[in-house]
Structure formats: structure tokens, C-alpha cells
Structure 1
Amino acid sequence: MLSGWREVTARRPWRISAKLLIISSVVTVIGFSAICVNVMLDMRRGEEALARQTLENLATTIESDVNRNIEIYDLSLKAVASSMLLPELATVSKPIRQLILFDHAITAKHFGAIQVFDTDGRLTIDASTLDPLPEVRSEEDYFRVHRDNPDIGLFISRPMLFRGAYSIVLSRRISDTDGGFMGVVAGSIRFSYFHELFERLNLDRDDTITVLKRDRTIMMRRPFDLEIIGRNLNERQNWRADNLKAGGSYAGQGPVDPTPRLYVRSTSTGPMFVVAGKPLTAVFELWQREAYRIGAVVLALILFMLASTLVLAREIGRRAEAEGKLEEMATTDALTGLKNRRKFDSVIEVEWRRAMRQKTPVALLMIDADHFKAYNDTFGHQAGDQVLVGIAICISDAVSRAGDCAARYGGEEFAVLLPNISVTDAFKVAETIRLKVQGWSDDQASTTVSCGIASLVPTAGMDPSILVAAADKALYAAKAGGRNQSVVASLPQLSLVA
């Protein structure tokens, strides 16, 4: 019996449930989506890193050019300041003086002529002419700062209108041998230098280049706007200096306009530094197009997969339902609606092993219709079938636990398996069935049943056939004792539960 049940189990094909298929598909979709999102984020970080590197190179290149020209121009200012201390300068003619002072001075179309102012701020010497027009610059920042601060060194003024052109003024103090104030030497770099420098660059329309002094004063900016030039970022309440440290980057709204950009600051230690900016929409434009394209493809695949899963799940559900019905038909007695003998044999094997593991009792009722053959011969097979259906209904009414198994064992014989129940409780169930059948037969036909009860705790080496034989023996004892009664098997040598 056990070997046959195992063969049936071994031949049963492995089946995937619709719920498992849906869960697997959802998990696959989530995993695939997570991978795609991670890849897209890596691509986004790659685009940002590439843009940051490009802006850093741009800012470093511009800063190197600006600071190099400032350094070269400063050398000219230093040479003029040193030459002003020569004693023979007062005795030579103006042309010779010009040669002495400005022979090594840098000359370029974007650099203003170097000028020398005395202690009162009056223009005394001009590199562009031998006879300069009278000028007094004592109130200018680039003059007062040198007069009041002997150690200021090179001073770069705010952007200003200087000699008819917007420029930044570079100046140095002229000191005598004792450190006394002798005046100021000054020159300028016109904005045209920055305009020409920026025009040589291949920049997008909304890209920004900002040149600032160390005190965060905006010296020049592309796109050019006089309202912004000369402002100090430290005065902006909505902007913190920590947002953009030397050599760092910042993504978001800047201090000048509301357009979100990626800003990168150069790392040089010169008098000027440069911040290059690019709109975030431009930085991620290519990535965004790829993200939309890949996202659309992934979404289409996900929808296709989910739709296919739902279709397959529906088909699996239908197949499982059909197989369930077939299995129910294969394991159900067509006449009585109870489990058939095949199902009973498989259930008793399972419950027997469970009771052996858990050391709990298993009870079995063997029930047989009294005088059924004579009744069948007298009233016919259809009437006999009605009696069997009535007995089955009485058994179903009395057996209510989920683990109980009521089956048509064969012909007019029924079996009821009651796991984890004592013989006393099993006897009560048997009596309930017997009395129900007796009560029902009083209204229909004179029909009674006899019941044999056996209960034991399975141990190693025992077989379910022992329990069946004991219950069957008790059934025959009930019939021999006059029928319409329940008899409990007495098997002390098998550790029966009383």
C-alpha cells in the first residue's frame, strides 16, 4: 500500500503555481528595474564627472592666462617703482626718462599706459606721452590704499571706468629707501582683454565664466553685465563661501542668477580665480535623452513581461482548477461524495507517519451497513444506493475536524480516520454516527450501522494495516454481538489507547 502511494507521488509532475509565477515575475521586474536605475545613475554621475573635468580645465586655462598677464604687468610696475629711486632720473631729459622707466614695460593693445602719481596724487609721468595732462587721483582707492598701507604690495582695484575704458587698475607703492611714501605707479587692463579671451573659447550660450579677486569681488563675467561687475559675493545673503571652495564644485542655483548650474572653481593661488559654470540641463541633456530612450524600452519590456505573466498565471490557474477538479473526481466516491479507497490509503499513510513523529494516537472507525445485502435484494439497487448516501451524509455531519478523513471503503463499508484523538473520543464519534443513521432510518427505512473502533500510538516497525485489521476485527465483533452497536478493539500488546 505504502509503495503504491510513493509511486503515485513520484509520477506526479512538478507544477508551478500562478501565485509563485507572479511573485517571481514581480521580483524579476524589481531586480531588473533596480539594475537599470543603478546603470542610469552611474551614467548620470559619469556625465557630471565629465562636465566637471571639462569646466575645471576651462577654469584653470583662463585663470592661468589672466594671472600670467597680471604677473607680467606687475613686473613692469615693479621696474618703474624701482627706477623712480634712481638719483640721476631728475637730471635727464624727458625722452631719456621715458626710456629708463618704461623700456622694459609690457605693451599690448589691452593694457593701459603706466602712470606715476606723486604723494598728492597728481599725475607726474605717463608712459603714453611726454607731457601728460594734469590729473589728480588722490581720492581713488588704488592711491589711498598704498598711501595708508605700506605693505599692501600689488593692489587690484574694482572694475572701473579708467581713462575712457572699463578696466581694472593694477598699482604699486613707490617707497624711498627709508620706506617713506613717494607716490604710486599704476596701470590698467581693459575689459577688451577679457572679451577677446572669452571669444576664443568654444562656449555654449548659457555657459558662464566669472573672474574674481581673492576677496570674491566679480572682476569680469561672461555673459557681460555691468550690473554684476564689481559686486562682492560676500555681500549676498543667500550665498555662502563654503558652497564653492578652491578646487571644488557646486551644483544648484548660483549667487548671480537663478539658473541651476554646475559650477567649478579653479585651484590657483594667484591674485585672481575663475569659476566656470554650465547649466544642469545642458550637463544632463544627453543623459536625459538616453534615460528616456532606455526607460521607454525597459517599460515596454516590463509591461510585456507582466502581461505575459498575467496570461500565463490565468492559464496556470485554469489548469490548476481543472486538475483540482480531476483530482477531486479521482479521489471522491461518485455515489456518496466521500473520499474513495485510493484517497483513504494515501491519507492514512501520511497521518500514520505524522503520528509516529509526534507520538500521538490515530483512531480508525470501520462502519458497515447492517443487513444491507438483504435490503438491496428486497428493494433494489437504487434504494440501496439511497441508503448508502444517507449513511454518508450522517458520517459527514458527525466528522467535522479539518484533519479527519471519511471515506467509502468498499461496498456498504465506510472508514473514518481520526488523527490525534483518544479511543474514548473516537467511540463518541462512532456513537454519534450510529445514532444519526438510526434516527434517519426511522423516517426512511429500517437501516442501522455497526462500528468498529481502534486507536493506537504508532511506533517504529508498525504498519497502518495493523490499525485497519484491529478496527475491522472490532466491526465483526459488533456484528456478531447483534449489530447496531459500536465496539472498541482491545489490543494491549499494541499499546492501544483506552
Structure 2
Amino acid sequence: MFPNFVRRAAVIAGRRPCIVGALGTLLAAAVLGVSLLTLVAARDTAIRHAHETSRNVAAVLSSNISHTVESSDQSLRTLIASLDKPAVQHLDADVRHELLFNRTATSQYVTGMGVTNEHGQLMDGCCSSTHHWDFSDRDYFLVHRQSANVGLYVSAVYRARSREGVEALALSRRIDNADGSFKGVALVAIDVAYFSRLLDGLNVGPGGVTAIVRTDGTLVARNPYIRLALVPNFSKSLTFPRMVNQDSGFYAARSPTDGVLRLYTFQRVPGTPLIAVVAPALDDVLASWKTLSWIVGTSACAISFAFCAVVWLLAFALRDRALAEDRLTELTQTDSLTGLKNRRALDEVLEAEWERLQRTASCLSVLYVDADHFKQYNDKYGHAAGDKALKHLADCIAQRACRRSDCAARYGGEEFVVVLPDTDAANAARVAEGIREALERSWHARHEAGTAELHPFTVSVGCATGRRGCPATLDELTKAADLALYEAKNAGRNCVRAAAMAHS
């Protein structure tokens, strides 16, 4: 059963090579589509993994900064509370300075701590108890003087006057008099180097960036390092409001600094205007994926192309084989001299049309056509002329039996048979007469032109028409046509005779 199925499939494929090739192409395209979807999913996975990693890094970074801020804020609260204690106020200035600021001097990054009066002048601090620096222009002083409800304030980055221009930012709180009026500011200075050191320990790829920015768009620290003077204010960026308006998030955008497309993950440091940013470059994230895509894409394309080529070659090879088989079949059913059907093909057509007739209310006509005195003609003019005459007769028959369902065949020698499905006796007689007249006219035309043989070439035709049930068998129908042919011969040849059949 399976071999038969394979053979039938091969025959169908040979008959419809374009469909087979198209199906193969669609299959190859489907494979490419699956490969593409797989690569897209792998790309999304790489980006999602990068986001998860960046989110963890940003969370740790935010936690470390938050811990430092909380520690510094606690120091500020302790300092402010100590300043209001009478016992501390009555201490010697040097002793009070040592008590309040000595511990801060041992911190690695909390490098400045002090107290200003209501005019912004440094009253005392860890850096010096004698120098009275003027900080009235600092943002943290101005903010606290203008509002009593600021709480902890984180300043913008500035250059410290007391420490040779070291970049730092200040954490500050307002100090009030007993009546609530502004008394001054307590502050803790944290060097930017602290933030830079945190960022230096993070590796987010060759094109990646880690940074600490303020909600006003100013940069606090960045890795790789870049001079703050060269960095634009990020508040002008179209994507920066996302960082300001959310506690955390993720998005892809081009850097306003260098134009590199990066995946930005950000985390707000609680209680501060600081934002921790981790932004690996998209090219770095997708580097391994691009290599995989190149390998998979090239392989899938090559395999799909090869598959398509094989399918198309196979389809056309099957087509050629089917055509060859059809041609071979046609040759086995075609008379080599006249090009009409041969006796074998005629038998098949007669059987098929007779079976069809038994299922319908139509009719079937059969013509027996025989060349008159052909033996004498052949003997007189030679076999070459005889063959030429038979070819001409075949052409006349084919011109009159020209419907798709009609069948003209060489029965043997100079005898021909024409099968006319769905043709009644009257129309069959017209076809037969048309064949006879066509052959006769062609001979007269050649005779007048002086090219015809002296002996006229004519035919006698016998017709028989059958319907369902009459006659009872196909053999009776063909015998009736054959007898009609003999009647035409006996009537003097070059004429048509129809068999007298009931209900015909």
C-alpha cells in the first residue's frame, strides 16, 4: 500500500511541479520563520537578563548610598542635639571641637562636618576651628534659610573651599533658635570620590555606564569618568522625566553625552534626590546574541535555500518524468503514420464511451471510414503516394471530428474509425458526409491544378448510432457501422450509409 501511495504522490507531483515547489518553498520559509522567532525570543531573553542584572546592581548601589546617607544624617542629628545641651555649650572651645568633630575626621569619605551661623559663616567644623569660611552662597544654606521644613537636604556637587577644591556634596539640616527662627546650618560633606569608588567596582561592559545623578539633572559621579563641566544637564533629555517620576524603572535610549544606545535601569535612593543608574550598552548586551544570530541565520538560510533548490529540482524532474511517461503513453496509443489514435487506444475509448452511455440518456455514434480501391491506388502510384494519401485522409477526418470528446483512429490499413459521443444519427451523417466531401473537393482542386493522380482518391463511410439499451452491446453497434460501410461499398463507393437501428 505504501509503495502505491508513493507512486501516486510522485505522479501527482509530476503533474503539478509548481505546486510542489511552492509547498517546499513555504516549508523552507516556515523553517526560517521559526528560526527568526527563536532568535527574537533569544534577543528578548538577553535584554531581560541584562535588565535583571542591572536592577540588582542598581539596588545594591542604592542600598550602599542610602546607608551612608542615613549614617551621615544620624551624625547631623546627634551634632544638632549636642549643640543645644548646656553642658556642651559651657565646654572649652577646643574640648567642644574635639568632642563634636573628632570622629568625623577619621571617616574616609565623610571628610567635612561643620556648623554655620545665620549668616552662613562657619562657626566650627572638623576641618578647622579657627577659619571662618563663608558658605552663605551655597545652595544648602539658601534652602534652609528660606524654609524651615526642608529636613535633610542633599546639595549639588561643589568644590570645597576648605580642601583645595575637592569635589563634594553636602548633607545638611537646619538649626533653629528656641523661638523657631533660623540659627544656622549643620552639614556633612561627602567627597564625590566616595561615589566614584562605588561605581569603579561595577563592570557593565566596554560601552556601559554607571552613574549617580540628581533629580535636577546634574551628574554626581560617572564610570567611566567624565569631567562634570563637559556633561550636559540631563533634565533637558526627553527620557529623564522617567527617572524623576518613578522610584525605579527600565528603558532603552541613546545617551545625550555620547549617543550610544543603552539600556537604562535606575533606582531612586530613598529619602534623597539621588538616582543610581546602571546602563549597559545594547551592543554589549547583544554581542553573543549577534554571533549566535549570524551562525543560526546563515545556517538556516543556507539549509532552506538548499532545500528549496532540491525540491524544485525534484519537482521538475518528476514533471519531466511524467511528461516522458505521457509521451510514451501517447506513442503507444498513436498511429505512427497518420498521427491519429491506434487500434489499442480506439478500443479503450469505445469501452469508456459505451460505459458512459449506459449511465446517461445521450447517444453515441460510430463511423467506419474506408478508402476506396486503395490497393489498386497503392499498386499504381506506389507506397509513398499511398502513405501520403492516408495522411491526407487522416487530416480530413481530424478536421471534421474536432471536438475534445471526439476520437479519430486508424483501425488498420486504409480503414479508419471515428467515435462521436453525444452525437445523434443526423449529426453523425453530416460529419461523415463532411469527411467524404472534404476529401473529394481536395482531389478536384488538385486535379484542376494538374497535381492530382489520375485515379481519384475517395472514401466510403458507414454510420451507426446507439442509445442506452439499443443496441444491447458495443459489439452490435460496431458491427452495425461495419455493415453500413459495406452497404456504402455496394452502393458504388464514395458515399455515406447509415445503419437502420430502432430508436436511433
2:338 is aligned, of 329, 336, 345, to 336
What's the Cα RMSD here? 3.6
Q: Distance in 2 between matches of 1:434 and 1:482?
A: 14
1:226 maps to amino acid: R
Q: Distance in 2 between matches of 1:466 and 1:253?
A: 94
Stretch deviating more after TM superposition (425-434 or 157-166): 425-434
Q: Which residue of 1 aligns with 2:175?
A: 174
Q: Secondary structure at the match of 1:484?
A: coil
1:165 Cα offset (Å): 0.8
1:466 Cα offset (Å): 7.0
2:168 maps to amino acid: S
CA separation of 1:463/1:301 partners in 2, compared to 1, >3 Å: closer, same or farther? farther
1:339 maps to amino acid: K
2:397 is aligned with 1:395: yes
CA separation of 1:302/1:109 partners in 2, compared to 1, >3 Å: closer, same or farther? same
Q: Which residue of 1 aligns with 2:287?
A: 285
For 1:363-378, what aligned pairs fall within 5 Å after superposition?
363-372=365-374, 375-376=377-378
Q: Distance in 1 between matches of 2:37 and 2:223?
A: 36
CA separation of 1:379/1:47 partners in 2, compared to 1, >3 Å: closer, same or farther? same
CA separation of 1:194/1:14 partners in 2, compared to 1, >3 Å: closer, same or farther? closer
Stretch deviating more after TM superposition (40-49 or 241-250): 241-250
Q: Which residue of 1 aligns with 2:123?
A: 124
Q: Contact (CA 8 Å) 2:465, 2:501: kept in 1 or not?
A: no
Q: Distance in 2 between matches of 1:128 and 1:115?
A: 8
2:33 maps to amino acid: A
Q: Secondary structure at the match of 1:342?
A: helix
Normalising by structure 1, report the TM-score: 0.83
Normalising by structure 2, report the TM-score: 0.82
Aligned identity (percent) is 32
2:67 is aligned with 1:68: yes
Stretch deviating more after TM superposition (160-169 or 353-362): 353-362
CA separation of 1:472/1:120 partners in 2, compared to 1, >3 Å: closer, same or farther? farther
Q: Which residue of 1 aligns with 2:447?
A: none
Q: Which residue of 2 aligns with 1:8?
A: none
1:144 maps to amino acid: L
**What whole-Å deviation, never above 9, does each CA across 1:99-148 have from its counterpart, x for those lacking one?**
6645886952111221111111111121344x230112122111111111
Q: Which residue of 2 aligns with 1:161?
A: 159
Q: Distance in 1 between matches of 2:151 and 2:72?
A: 14
2:236 maps to amino acid: E
2:139 is aligned with 1:138: no
1:333 Cα offset (Å): 0.5
Q: Contact (CA 8 Å) 1:73, 1:106: kept in 2 or not?
A: no
Q: Contact (CA 8 Å) 1:218, 1:228: kept in 2 or not?
A: no
Stretch deviating more after TM superposition (56-65 or 472-481): 472-481
Q: Contact (CA 8 Å) 2:104, 2:126: kept in 1 or not?
A: no
CA separation of 1:294/1:349 partners in 2, compared to 1, >3 Å: closer, same or farther? farther
Stretch deviating more after TM superposition (256-265 or 172-181): 172-181
1:209 maps to amino acid: T
CA separation of 1:13/1:433 partners in 2, compared to 1, >3 Å: closer, same or farther? farther
Stretch deviating more after TM superposition (408-417 or 95-104): 95-104
Q: Distance in 2 between matches of 1:417 and 1:395?
A: 11
Q: Which residue of 1 aligns with 2:410?
A: 408
Stretch deviating more after TM superposition (392-401 or 114-123): 392-401
Q: Contact (CA 8 Å) 2:156, 2:169: kept in 1 or not?
A: yes
Q: Contact (CA 8 Å) 2:101, 2:125: kept in 1 or not?
A: no
Q: Secondary structure at the match of 2:418?
A: strand
Q: Which residue of 2 aligns with 1:241?
A: 241
